[in-house]
Chain A
Amino acid sequence: MTELDPEKLNVAPGVPHDSMLSETVSYVVGLGLALVLTGVSFWVASTGTLWGPGVATGLVVLAIAQMGVHLVFFLHITSGPDNTNNVLALAFGVLIVLLVMIGTIFIMAHMNSNMMPDPTQMNLQMQH
């Protein structure tokens, strides 16, 4: 392995690249991809031609893809060696976010199905 440039061992999150052209290209490519993904999201949600039950999952996948585009092209979080600290912090953040969201939704959905609501109070319960 070649010796790393000590200047480049770490880079702050959000710092653009070196040359003006490559920086601008990065933002333009990011904007283009984000526009495409947003457009597809709105199209998928409006069209009736797709298999209904799969649409919500597809939208979530599109959203995650767009978040990735924003991270890479706008926040410049990359897989390079100078970005290790930023990526590790992001990975920990994603872990906690997933634990909180999936854990809550899973537990609350099952708690609800384990309870037998009073018919007069059905409106206060989650209705699926």
Chain B
Amino acid sequence: MTAGTEAPTLGLTHQASEDTGLGHRGPQSKSIVVPYGFWLFVLSDMVLFSALFASYASLVHATDGGPTTSQLFDRKLVAVETMALLISSFVCGLAMITAKRKNMVWTQVWLVMTGLLGLVFLGIELHEFSTMIAEGAGPQRSAFLSSFFTLVGCHGAHVTAGLLWLGTMMAQIWNKGFQEHIMRRLLCFSVFWHALDIIWVAIFTIVYLIGTLP
């Protein structure tokens, strides 16, 4: 294996004579271990969300005489949100492809688009939240609304954190170039961003679509 021909930053950096991952020749390279550890974090994050989904499902009918799901949710708005986040996830993948080829301009372009689409998603969500609170359907109105704001708000907080991380990554790539440790962070970010889209699939199905069935 010739090292460094293409993108040693992604995938294994070991020589063929070195570790095979079977344990007797030392640990895997950092470019394997770090994203794997981050993958474990993402999975534990999904476990956290599963608890929020479970409490939402248990409390969705506990409306205390207040507004119900089909009175509150607007499917058209949710469709736009879903599109924005899905395309953002896709564009993030394109950024990974160009980053692997160390193409600075296109990587930054795709990352900016990823961030803008994330902002569209977040803007619609905040608009929805503020409209609901203005109508008196805030988190303190009923157990249903408490669990709704906790679940969807937790996802929104993750998206916000992801956007801050995205900005940081763009600055780091711009200043430090496509170094190995920067690429590891970018890979972790893309795993995080795709995982947020997976959680959103569960949210728009369980909360918004099943919640507004006739």
Contact = CB atoms under 8 A, between A and B. Distances in A.
Contacts of B87: 31
27 contacts: A6-B16, A7-B16, A9-B20, A10-B12, A11-B32, A12-B35, A13-B35, A13-B36, A14-B35, A14-B194, A15-B35, A27-B90, A30-B90, A31-B87, A46-B75, A56-B210, A93-B46, A96-B47, A97-B47, A100-B47, A101-B50, A123-B63, A124-B62, A124-B143, A126-B58, A127-B61, A128-B61
Nearest to B199: A67
B74 interface: no
Given A70-B89, A93-B43, A105-B58, A7 B32 contact: no
Contacts of B16: 6-7
A14 B190 contact: yes
Contacts of B93: 16, 27, 30, 74
Interface string B10-43: 1110101001111000001001101110111001
B198 interface: yes
Interface residues of A, number: 59
Contacts, number: 172
Contacts of B58: 104-105, 108-109, 126
A57 B57 CA distance: 14
Interface in A67-98: 67, 70-71, 74-75, 85-86, 89-90, 92-93, 96-97
Contacts of A63: 201-202, 205-206
B140 interface: no
B35 A70 contact: no
B29 to A, nearest CB: 9
